[in-house]
Amino acid sequence: MRTCRPTFLVHAVFCTLAMTAALPTFCAAKEKPATVSSDDVTLRLFQLLDSSYGGKLSDFYFVGDVYKDPKNPDKELQHVFKAEYDKARAFGRLRLYVRGVDKLTPGQLKDYTPQQIYDFADADVEKFTKTDPGPLGRTGDLYFLATENGPLATTPITDEARKEYEVCVSQWLTPALEKK
């Protein structure tokens, strides 16, 4: 009949203690979420959408700023936006689609809804996707830009893209939602 060896028990106890001591090190290796400033435009937008819209916004259209056509500097265009938000989504909670149309006259702004104006444009020029508050470019954020003669394609997030996103959210989307 076999007897229990003392060396085996010593090794088993030693392994158990070593694994238990190393456990906090493995747990601490997790990436901690970076703190976000209370002035962050996305954080304020998410708080507004959660408190006033129940964490869900479907197909919200609004008209934005006038800008010069990059291909023809004598021509003025106007941004038209579509925003979607769903707090329950794990990825891409906020989706902001951007289209460009010829500069609208005051009469056109009265006669047509923002959705109709958005639909007049052929295709999206840009798309921003945000998952969590913080500056554009964090994990899960995407920026799409229209190619020369094609659809939107993923593009690296630059400082210019960050600035454009912040302007869209702070000067156009948030004020439009607060008016609604």
What mean pLDDT is predicted for residues 64-78?
A: 88
Q: How confident is the model at residue 31 (pLDDT cuts 50, 70, 90)?
A: low
Domain assignment present for 29: no
Q: How confident is the model at residue 29 (pLDDT cuts 50, 70, 90)?
A: very low
pLDDT at 91: 84
pLDDT at 8: 59
Domain assignment present for 20: no
Domain assignment present for 25: no
Which amino acid is located at 160 in the chain? E
CA-nearest of 67, 89, 103 to 140 is: 89
Domain coverage including residue 106: 41-179
Domain assignment present for 33: no
The answer to whether residues 120 and 101 touch, using CB atoms and an 8 Å cutoff, is: yes
The whole-model pTM stands at 0.78
Mean pLDDT of the chain: 85
CA-nearest of 142, 147, 141, 92 to 125 is: 147
- What torsion do the CA atoms of 27, 29, 35, 41 make, to the nearest 10 degrees? -110
What mean pLDDT is predicted for residues 156-179?
A: 94
Strands (E), 29-125: 56-68, 76-86, 94-102
Domains held by the chain: number:
1
